[in-house]
């Protein structure tokens, strides 16, 4: 590994800015008008937002008027995960929220349902939801909202969203899909997923931090309780002057990511396999999670028995490689993964789990450099074990 050249393998936490996004951000920062103003300067700012809204709507197969920009995927989750959803021709109010045990913290803790109304959907040993358990929950009465990731941020495991959505819709329920890790990494269309709402985030695919979106499949479901009230921006659902530069950068990054999704899927899968080879070479005893399920091509989650996640994450960081353990939204702490625990992974092994995630700027050199760094980090651990044996 070249001296002072760091290797970044944490794209599921955030991706480096794409050059096209930087260009859009710089251009948008030069727009001086408030996008709610009617003069030429305001209309220019509004046009930048409209362009991004058009782009996001087109990419997911939605309608422009159903795209609401937020400050993050977390804010989008907090906005939509509410019983205050008015549905045309519905059989009554939403009374229950069903969430999978592996959801991101913004879904597990960011909802506006009463705690007594929330039910957890279990995962199998590969990290997929149990559709039989979902069927049983749907038979419990009341109208259900299901919150389900398209793909898990820690393991990369892809969920059967379309199958689950068909089951929920048959009972008159609503489906919210966290597509933050999926969008720009796999084909992400509302119709194919069957979701009523999609949660998206800019910085996972090479756009700027500070922008996300909530996309509704149709206007038949209306959120009756916005999080922030004020000037009526974003169709009255997200008051406050829009972050024009972040939204413009989001649209540009999303367009490029989705245009390249097919070629990138193959390239990233090859790089992930190269990372796995390096892990196996350095630690043949390593356990890889989710290999029996469909996974995103960019994600590898593994554990080396007896080597704590904190030891490995810090050791690799000092060796010039950025990796993570669990979700990056956990205040920077290295903690045991709730996702792996829900999969039935033993606590000690779950406490050793490390995630590698790739993206648009990743290279073969990164994979080889990671392998070199991993061997360097493990060498003193191996020596200490041998001396103690």
Domain membership of residue 194 (yes or no) is yes
pLDDT of residue 3: 56
Q: Are residues 221 and 300 in the same domain?
A: no
DSSP conformation letters of 200-238 = EESTTTTS-SS-EEEEES-TTEEE-S-S--SS-TGGGTS
Domain membership of residue 2 (yes or no) is no
Domain membership of residue 1 (yes or no) is no
- Residue ranges making up the domain that contains 298: 7-17+261-388
Q: Are 18 and 252 in contact (CB under 8 A)?
A: yes
Q: Are residues 54 and 44 in the same domain?
A: yes
Smallest CA-to-CA distance from 255 within 47, 53, 14, 43 is with 53
pLDDT tens, per residue, the chain with 389 residues: 445 789 999 999 999 999 999 999 999 999 999 999 999 999 999 999 999 999 999 999 999 999 999 999 999 999 999 999 998 877 788 999 999 999 999 999 989 999 999 999 999 999 999 999 999 999 988 999 999 999 999 999 999 999 999 999 999 999 999 999 999 999 999 999 999 999 999 999 999 999 999 999 999 999 999 988 899 999 999 999 999 999 999 999 999 999 999 999 999 999 999 999 999 999 999 999 999 999 999 999 999 999 999 999 999 999 999 999 865 554 455 567 999 999 999 999 999 999 999 999 999 999 999 999 999 999 999 888 888 77
Cα separation, 151 vs 13, in Å, equals 14
In the residue annotation, 188 being an active-site residue is answered as: no
Domain membership of residue 364 (yes or no) is yes
User: Domain boundary residue among 258, 284, 304?
Assistant: 258
Q: Are residues 250 and 346 in the same domain?
A: no
Q: Are residues 199 and 61 in the same domain?
A: yes
Domain membership of residue 49 (yes or no) is yes
Q: Are 276 and 269 in contact (CB under 8 A)?
A: no
Cα separation, 222 vs 196, in Å, equals 11
pLDDT of residue 88: 85
- CATH number for position 151: 3.40.640.10
Cα separation, 269 vs 265, in Å, equals 6
User: Domain boundary residue among 220, 238, 258?
Assistant: 258
Order of strands, sheet of 287-288, starting from the edge strand that comes earlier in the sequence: 287-288, 299-303, 353-357
pLDDT of residue 141: 87
pLDDT of residue 385: 80
Domain membership of residue 100 (yes or no) is yes
CA 190 from chain centre, in angstroms, equals 16
Q: Are residues 13 and 57 in the same domain?
A: no
Q: Are residues 230 and 273 in the same domain?
A: no
Q: Are residues 270 and 248 in the same domain?
A: no
CA distances from 23 to 47, 88, 245 (A): 16, 42, 10
pTM: 0.95
User: Which of 177, 258, 301, 329 is labelled catalytic?
Assistant: 329
Task: Name the domain count of the chain.
Answer: 2
- CATH number for position 284: 3.90.1150.10
Q: Are residues 155 and 123 in the same domain?
A: yes
User: Domain boundary residue among 258, 285, 313?
Assistant: 258
Q: Are residues 371 and 276 in the same domain?
A: yes
Q: Are residues 276 and 360 in the same domain?
A: yes
Cite the DSSP H helix spans in the chain: 19-29, 40-60, 73-80, 105-108, 131-138, 161-170, 190-193, 244-259, 261-282, 309-318, 338-342, 347-350, 364-388
Q: Are residues 232 and 292 in the same domain?
A: no
Q: Are residues 199 and 240 in the same domain?
A: yes
Tokens of 78: 């907090």
């Amino acid at each position: 590994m070249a001296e002072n050249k760091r290797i970044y393998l944490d794209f599921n936490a955030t991706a480096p800015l794409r050059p096209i996004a930087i260009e859009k951000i710089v251009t948008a920062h030069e727009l001086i008008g408030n996008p709610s103003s009617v003069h030429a300067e305001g209309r220019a700012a509004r046009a930048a937002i409209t362009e991004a809204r058009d782009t996001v709507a087109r990419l997911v197969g939605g309608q422009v008027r159903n795209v609401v920009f937020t400050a993050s995927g977390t804010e989008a989750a907090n906005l939509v995960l509410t019983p205050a959803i008015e549905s045309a021709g519905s059989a009554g109010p939403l009374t229950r929220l069903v969430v999978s045990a592996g959801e991101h913290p913004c879904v597990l803790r960011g909802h506006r349902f009463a705690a007594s109304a929330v039910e957890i959907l279990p995962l199998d040993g590969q990290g997929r939801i149990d559709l039989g358990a979902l069927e049983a929950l749907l038979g419990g009465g009341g109208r259900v909202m299901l919150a389900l990731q398209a793909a898990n941020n820690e393991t990369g495991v892809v969920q059967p969203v379309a199958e689950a959505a068909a089951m929920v819709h048959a009972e008159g329920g609503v489906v919210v899909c966290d597509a933050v890790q999926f969008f720009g990494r796999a084909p992400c269309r509302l119709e194919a997923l069957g979701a009523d709402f999609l949660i998206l985030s800019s910085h996972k695919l090479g756009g700027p931090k500070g922008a996300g979106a909530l996309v509704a499949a149709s206007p038949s479901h209306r959120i009756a309780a916005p999080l922030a009230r004020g000037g009526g921006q974003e169709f009255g659902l997200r008051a406050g002057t829009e972050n024009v530069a972040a939204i413009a950068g989001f649209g540009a990054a999303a367009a490029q990511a989705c245009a390249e999704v097919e070629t990138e899927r193959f390239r990233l899968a090859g790089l992930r396999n190269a990372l796995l080879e390096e892990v196996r070479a350095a630690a043949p005893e390593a356990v890889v999670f989710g290999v029996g399920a469909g996974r995103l091509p960019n994600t590898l989650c593994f554990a080396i028995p007896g080597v704590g996640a904190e030891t490995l994450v810090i050791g690799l960081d000092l060796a010039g490689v950025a990796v993570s353990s669990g979700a990056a939204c956990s205040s920077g702490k290295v903690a045991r993964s709730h996702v792996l625990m829900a999969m039935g992974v033993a606590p000690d092994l779950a406490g050793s789990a490390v995630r590698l995630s790739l993206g648009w700027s990743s290279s073969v050199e990164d994979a080889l450099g990671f392998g070199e760094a991993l061997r360097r980090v493990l060498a003193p651990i191996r020596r200490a074990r041998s001396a103690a044996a």
